[in-house]
A = this chain, B = another copy of it.
Amino acid sequence: MSSQKLFSVAVVGVTGAVGQQMLRLLEERDFPISQLKLLASASSAGKTVKFKGKDITIEEAKPESFKGVEIALFSAGGDVSKKLIPAAVEYGAVCIDNTSAYRMDPEVPLVVPEVNIDKVHEHKGIIANPNCSTIQMVQALKPLYDRFGISRIIVSTYQAVSGAGAKAIAELKRQSAEILAGNEVVPDILPVGSLPVKHQIAFNAIPQIDKFLDNGFTNEEMKMINETKKIMGDDSIQVTATCVRIPVVYGHSESVYVELKEKFDMDEVRKLLAEGPGLVLVDDPANQRYPLATEAAGKLETFVGRVRRDLYNEQALNMWIVSDNLLKGAAWNAVQIAEYIALEQK
């Protein structure tokens, strides 16, 4: 990306689990940056962060912070996005928002580059990054959707605590150590920081991510249901989701049952998955090879395996989809979108 236009870039929420990965990726990918603003809450303002060997001082994120900013990556929570993105757009920035604040806004494109990068062109200042658990699923299913169509998806997730932020990672480690030492644990973050009831995550499985709605589904489950339809651009896809937090640090795993609209050949399915953009097919039962969260952690790709035809519905498949929720599920998807915008304006 040398000899191209350079951009004034802001990262909002740079001290968070996703913000740190955004910064790391901008550095590693040598993103064409003229000026880099690192923004966070007042409590982090004044701290310095290294970027390409230089110390950059974190500033408090305010509406006027975005003067002159061309690309802003937001990952500081929905409230911050709602408060600051309108000002950033007013100043002319393209905002790539990792929160759920604008995802279902019909004016805002919801983009997974491997699935619907063309939607970027429709933005009016805001491009939304989908929910982590949605991104890896639609990315893996897109090649099958394009070839056969999809009528039904039933997904159960095995989600890492890093999706709930750095405090949840610390909580899992602390609880695990306490239990191994034979002590009682007092949960204080998960399943949802802002709700009163807390549950032990170490050596447990919590079937709640985000708040409950009146229909008995959680927000996280409804995100998978609604975002999948918006990203695929197909309201006819019937998604059912059960989202579960498990004691894993990095990497969401998903057990996915999918009904296709046409008959399929398993060899073709495997070829489509193996060649799908950003996908790695890890599917060799004889050698006990399948995607694992511990192996996906730190990688940019989404891993697919355990691909098998359903025994009762010959137009249905079962598979296991794993990706690093902080990378393809958040920071990398956002930086991919930023890279696309940068390339377009070269």
Contact = CB atoms under 8 A, between A and B. Distances in A.
A288 B207 contact: no
A61 B43 CA distance: 67
A249 interface: yes
A164 to B, nearest CB: 15
A288 B318 contact: no
Interface string A188-201: 00011001110110
A248 interface: yes
A208 B288 contact: yes
A156 B310 CA distance: 14
B308 A216 contact: yes
Interface in A181-218: 191-192, 195-197, 199-200, 203-208, 212, 215-217
Given A199-B288, A288-B195, A248 B205 contact: yes
Contact of A305 (B204, B207, B294): B207
A293 B216 contact: no
B311 A257 contact: no
Contact of A293 (B204, B225, B242): B204
Contacts of A308: 215-217
A244 B157 CA distance: 11
Interface stretch (A10-18, A120-128, A172-180, A324-332): A172-180
A309 interface: yes
Nearest to A322: B205
A247 interface: yes
A88 interface: no
A212 B191 CA distance: 34
B311 A242 contact: no
Interface string A145-173: 00000001010101000000000000011
A212 B306 CA distance: 10
A207 B176 contact: no
Contact of A246 (B158, B177, B215): B158
B311 A215 contact: yes
A253 B276 CA distance: 32
B311 A225 contact: yes
A260 to B, nearest CB: 15
B246 A199 contact: no
Given A177-B180, A320-B207, A216 B309 contact: yes
12 contacts: A158-B158, A158-B246, A176-B180, A199-B294, A203-B247, A203-B249, A203-B293, A208-B288, A217-B308, A242-B255, A246-B246, A246-B247
Interface of A: 152, 154, 156, 158, 172-173, 176-177, 180, 191-192, 195-197, 199-200, 203-208, 212, 215-217, 225, 238-240, 242, 244, 246-249, 253, 255, 257, 285-294, 305-313, 316, 318, 320
